[in-house]
Amino acid sequence: MGYGAVEELGAKVAYFQIPIQFIRMPDLLINELRSIKPTVLFSLTTTAFLLGLKLPEDIRNDIRVILVGGETLTEELAKATLENFPNAMIIDVLGMSEEGAVGYRIVTKKKTTNFSFPESIIVLESIEEEEYKEYHKIYVTKIMKEGELTGLPLFNYDAGDLARVENGEIKSILRIKDAISLAGATLYLDQIISIVHRYPFLIDFVIIYHPLSPSNPKPKAIIRVGYVGEKPAGIEDEIRSLIYER
């Protein structure tokens, strides 16, 4: 998917894949990056953010493009990532393993574009929850180029992701694993982050989720918040009420 995304964007770059175990060996990773002198970084969305916290300033300053995918990129996470890579922009990619990049959007410090799908037909289907009209299941059909032959073309392919649509345009894509059920309410990752950012004293937000299983026939999720100073009374209940407002 990484190579396909780079190829799709027509980037004139050399492509290096660094073994994942380097992430657990920061000194080796930094030495390797200093040797390669990268200006483009491709990684999972959360990994890009974490690298922004850990990499030396000189390496971060050299990065011009951050190609991310595989996990939901929220507005807040994009902003936090770009704060640590001052000269970079983010390309948020929707990728399928057999076809590389299917669609993408550009995120800079000043602007976020809508998703573009230059070589695919996208079909959106409303989900059952009436209160979440902006969320749609997304189906992808790959448009084959002249003379193109692939091992597994995509026809009306459902990856399980959800598209958030505003004014007829796809603004963001949420990975289905980022949706949970909280005591009967469906909750998406971007809603959680939006709620938490209303409260400047909150520094963390955790949902402990117990999924459905034979030993757990009634799934539940527990809210826990991190905060600065004295804990505000009833903050979990207040956040829970905001969830149900939606």
pLDDT tens track for 139-161: 887 776 666 655 555 566 777 78
Better-predicted residue by pLDDT, 175 or 82: 82
Cβ-contact 174, 212 below 8 angstroms: no
- Whether 104 shows a pLDDT value over 60: the answer reads yes
**H or E element that contains 44:** strand 40-44
DSSP state of 232: P
User: Residue 120 is inside which H or E element, if any?
Assistant: strand 120-126
E strand or H helix that includes residue 2: helix 2-8
Most confident of 160-164, 185-189, 192-196: 160-164
Q: Where are the beta strands (DSSP E) in the chain?
A: 40-44, 65-69, 89-96, 100-107, 120-126, 135-142, 157-166, 169-174, 179-182, 185-188, 202-210, 220-227
pTM: 0.66
Place of tokens 């507005």: 75
Average pLDDT over residues 205-223: 65
pLDDT at 1 over 60: no
- pLDDT at residue 182 is higher than 70: no
pLDDT at position 77 over 70? yes
pLDDT: which is higher, 139 or 232: 139
Q: In which residue are the tokens 């602007």 written?
A: 111
Give the pLDDT band of residue 63 (cuts 50, 70, 90): very high
For residue 112, the model assigns a pLDDT of: 92
Q: Name the band, by pLDDT with cuts 50, 70 and 90, for residue 126.
A: confident
- State what percent of residues in the chain have pLDDT above 90: 16
Strand order in the sheet with 157-166: 120-126, 135-142, 157-166, 169-174
Answer whether residue 202 shows pLDDT above 60.
yes
Q: Indicate the pLDDT class of residue 246, thresholds 50, 70 and 90.
A: very low
pLDDT of 124 above 80: yes
**pLDDT above 70 coverage of the chain, percent:** 63
The yes-or-no verdict on residue 51 having pLDDT over 60 is yes
Predicted confidence band of residue 122 (pLDDT cuts 50, 70, 90): confident
Per the model's pLDDT, the better-predicted residue between 135 and 158 turns out to be: 135
Whose structure tokens read 């890579």? 85
| 199-211 mean pLDDT | 68
Higher local confidence (pLDDT), 83 or 2: 83
- Model pLDDT, residue 242: 67
